[in-house]
């Protein structure tokens, strides 16, 4: 991966860093349950917009970093991120044609997939459970997409990220 | 790169790598070392997240009105005076305790080294009750080290990196701490249930002598937590018809979701263990 100056690839990386910070924010417990998956949603945008730059390799690396940040077993988030990115790569052309609200719906499904995979992988080593509440971030992530898509597209166009 | 087949191949490869990583991390102790070094990569993010809180505290300290500071100072002086009086009393009690223990030929000494650490982050996963502190193995924090705040036991260190460590709180669903009732020495184990407001004792007989308001202190069994620190206060005792065991809930005395300054304790057991290892 060449970080050539003309491609302005620092923009995606700065947005990802911000997403990492948002996901590490200390929050009251009630908000935590519905906190969107910032890193995944931002990364999904860049996968759909620049699939030749961001693919399974980056999904794996970002997932590992997320695991380190959250103190999970290494590989749980990586596995979930790789699964979601796989589907995103398979249908990025279709996703680009969708309207924003249709995209938001797909993002909700993809984040739900991420939550299910990581919840399932986490269940191996722990015995905490509480119904289907772990899917709530999928809904908030879908809503977040409506706004984030516009912001990130604006950034991509303004800086001509390619 | 965009041909379906190569994507599928890559997907399977990464999937297998992830699964083997999870299994390896779950099974092998050596992964802790690797993790500790890899965690350095995310340490800057943890510091950056804490910046707003730190700068707010800084600004707040500088902008506080003079009379407020004077009032606070007065109050702290009064508190210090009270604390000093208690320490004086404690000193004589400690000496007396030493003498009595000598008489009883008991080898136990209640004297632990303490290090003050500061909270810099929490785990954003609501299933995991974990906090991050700003000291790591660079300042001799070790896995299994007990952590207290000013009012009680908080938890224990579960992983260390060079400059940060993770502390598992006593309310986490994976945590249990051996306790005893302060009033009569009744022993039990307090299990975390994934709620910040209570721990549960599930192995006390229905007829056990325990009542609402009893203070539970760490019993020192299990050799992880030092003996005699307050853990929780019993808030509910349910006698369930047809059950051999009572259901007992206790509220942690430590300010689990509020404390910012924490005490790391180096217990006597671990000191001797370190000496035995030749450290």
Residue A124 has pLDDT above 70, yes or no: no
pLDDT for res B199 = 93
Structural domains counted in chain A: 1
In 3D, which of A58, A51, A37, A55 has the Cα closest to residue A109? A37
- Do residue B25 and residue A73 have CB atoms under 8 angstroms apart? yes
Q: Read off the tokens for B235.
A: 């808030």
pLDDT for res B279 = 43
| pLDDT confidence tier of residue A25, bands split at 50, 70 and 90 | confident
Q: How do residues B221-239 score in pLDDT, each as one tens digit?
A: 888 888 888 899 999 998 8
B270 and B182 within one domain: yes
pLDDT for res B278 = 45
Asked if B126 is an interface residue toward chain A (Cβ–Cβ < 8 A), one would say: yes
B119 and B105 within one domain: no
B274 and B190 within one domain: yes
Provide, as residue numbers in chain A, all residues whose Cβ is less than 8 Å from the Cβ of B38.
Answer: 64, 68, 74
pLDDT for res A107 = 93
| pLDDT confidence tier of residue B270, bands split at 50, 70 and 90 | low
Full domain range(s) for residue A93? 5-159
B266 and B210 within one domain: yes
B150 and B71 within one domain: no
Q: Considering chain B, what percentage of its residues have pLDDT values greater than 70? A: 90
B128 and B188 within one domain: yes
Q: Considering chain A, what percentage of its residues have pLDDT values greater than 90? A: 49
- Which of A26, A60, A121 is facing B121, going by the closest CB pair? A26
Q: How do residues B100-130 score in pLDDT, each as one tens digit?
A: 777 766 545 556 678 888 888 888 777 788 8
| pLDDT confidence tier of residue B16, bands split at 50, 70 and 90 | very high
- Say what the ipTM of the complex is: 0.82
- Do residue A128 and residue B1 have CB atoms under 8 angstroms apart? no
Give the C-alpha distances (Å, rounded to integers) separating B79 from A20, B69, B108, B254: 42, 15, 31, 19
pLDDT for res A141 = 93
B62 and B3 within one domain: no
| Residue whose tokens read 């790169």 | B1
Give the C-alpha distances (Å, rounded to integers) separating B212 from A121, A162, B28, B94, B253: 39, 65, 43, 30, 14
pTM over 0.80: no
Residue A46 has pLDDT above 80, yes or no: yes
pLDDT for res B1 = 46
B12 versus B31: the higher-pLDDT residue is B12
In 3D, which of B18, B20, B41, B14 has the Cα closest to residue A55? B14
| pLDDT confidence tier of residue B151, bands split at 50, 70 and 90 | confident
- Mean pLDDT, chain A, whole residue set: 86
Full domain range(s) for residue B207? 112-279
pLDDT for res B267 = 66
Provide, as residue numbers in chain B, all residues whose Cβ is less than 8 Å from the Cβ of A79.
Answer: 15, 18-19, 22
**How far away is chain A from the Cα of B1, in angstroms, using its nearest Cα?**
8
pLDDT for res B65 = 78
Structural domains counted in chain B: 3
Helix (H, G, I), strand (E, B) or coil at B165: strand
- Do residue B25 and residue A75 have CB atoms under 8 angstroms apart? yes
Asked which of A93-107, A125-139, B185-199, B265-279 is least confident by mean pLDDT, the reply is B265-279
Residue B200 has pLDDT above 90, yes or no: yes
B100 and B66 within one domain: yes
Q: Averaged over B244-273, what is the pLDDT? A: 80
Asked if B40 is an interface residue toward chain A (Cβ–Cβ < 8 A), one would say: no
Provide, as residue numbers in chain B, all residues whose Cβ is less than 8 Å from the Cβ of A23.
Answer: 124
| pLDDT confidence tier of residue A130, bands split at 50, 70 and 90 | low
B143 and B101 within one domain: no
Q: How do residues B83-105 score in pLDDT, each as one tens digit?
A: 888 888 888 888 787 777 777 66
B49 and B26 within one domain: no
- Mean pLDDT, chain B, whole residue set: 84
Minimal Cα distance from A74: which residue of B?
A: B22
B190 and B64 within one domain: no
Contact A120, B22 (CB under 8 A): no
Asked if B245 is an interface residue toward chain A (Cβ–Cβ < 8 A), one would say: no
Mutation target to probe the B interface, by most B beta carbons within 10 A, among A128, A131, A135 is: A128
Minimal Cα distance from A88: which residue of B?
A: B7
φ, ψ dihedrals at B266, nearest 5°: -100, 105
- Do residue B46 and residue A29 have CB atoms under 8 angstroms apart? no
Helix (H, G, I), strand (E, B) or coil at B169: strand
pLDDT for res A128 = 56
Minimal Cα distance from B166: which residue of A?
A: A71
Helix (H, G, I), strand (E, B) or coil at B50: helix
Q: How many CB pairs under 8 A join A and B?
A: 128
Q: Averaged over A110-118, what is the pLDDT? A: 89
- Which of A65, A86, A126 is facing B174, going by the closest CB pair? A126
- Which of A35, A89, A128 is facing B7, going by the closest CB pair? A89
Residue B4 has pLDDT above 70, yes or no: no
B36 and B97 within one domain: no
Asked which of A3-7, A147-151, B154-158, B270-274 is least confident by mean pLDDT, the reply is B270-274
């Amino acid at each position: 991966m060449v970080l050539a100056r003309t491609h302005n690839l620092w923009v995606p990386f700065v947005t990802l860093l911000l997403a990492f910070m948002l996901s590490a924010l200390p929050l009251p417990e009630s908000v935590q349950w519905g906190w969107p998956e910032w890193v995944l949603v931002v990364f999904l945008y860049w996968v759909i917009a620049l699939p030749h730059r961001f693919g399974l390799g980056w999904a794996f690396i970002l997932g590992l970093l997320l695991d380190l940040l959250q103190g999970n077993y290494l590989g749980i988030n990586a596995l979930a991120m790789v699964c979601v990115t796989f589907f995103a790569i398979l249908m990025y052309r279709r996703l680009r044609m969708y309207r924003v609200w249709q995209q938001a719906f797909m993002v909700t499904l993809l984040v739900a997939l991420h939550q299910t995979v990581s919840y399932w992988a986490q269940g191996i080593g722990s015995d905490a459970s509480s119904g289907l509440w772990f899917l709530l971030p999928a809904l908030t992530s879908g809503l977040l997409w409506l706004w984030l898509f516009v912001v990130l597209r604006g950034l991509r166009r303004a800086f001509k990220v390619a | 790169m965009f041909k379906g087949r190569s994507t599928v191949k890559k997907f399977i490869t990464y999937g297998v790598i992830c699964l083997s990583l999870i299994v390896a991390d779950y099974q092998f102790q050596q992964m802790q070392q690797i993790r500790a070094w890899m965690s350095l990569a995310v340490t800057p993010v943890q510091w950056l997240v804490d910046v707003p809180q730190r700068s707010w505290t800084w600004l707040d300290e500088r902008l506080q009105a003079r009379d407020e500071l004077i009032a606070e100072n007065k109050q702290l002086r009064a508190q210090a005076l009270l604390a000093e009086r208690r320490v004086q009393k404690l000193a004589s009690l400690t000496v007396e305790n030493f003498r009595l223990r000598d008489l009883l030929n008991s080898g136990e000494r209640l004297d632990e080294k303490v290090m003050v650490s500061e909270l810099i982050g929490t785990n954003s996963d609501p299933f995991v009750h974990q906090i991050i502190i700003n000291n790591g193995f660079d300042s001799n924090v070790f896995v299994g080290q007990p952590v207290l705040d000013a009012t009680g036991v908080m938890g224990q260190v579960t992983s260390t990196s060079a400059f940060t460590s993770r502390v598992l709180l006593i309310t986490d669903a994976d945590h249990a701490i051996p306790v005893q009732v302060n009033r009569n020495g009744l022993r039990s184990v307090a299990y975390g249930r994934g709620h910040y407001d209570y721990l549960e004792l599930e192995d006390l007989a229905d007829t056990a002598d325990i009542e609402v308001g009893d203070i539970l202190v760490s019993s020192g069994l299990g050799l992880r937590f030092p003996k005699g620190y307050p853990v929780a206060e019993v808030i509910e005792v349910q006698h369930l018809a047809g059950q051999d065991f009572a259901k007992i809930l206790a509220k942690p005395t430590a300010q689990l979701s509020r404390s910012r300054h924490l005490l790391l304790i180096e217990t006597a057991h671990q000191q001797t263990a370190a000496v035995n290892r030749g450290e």
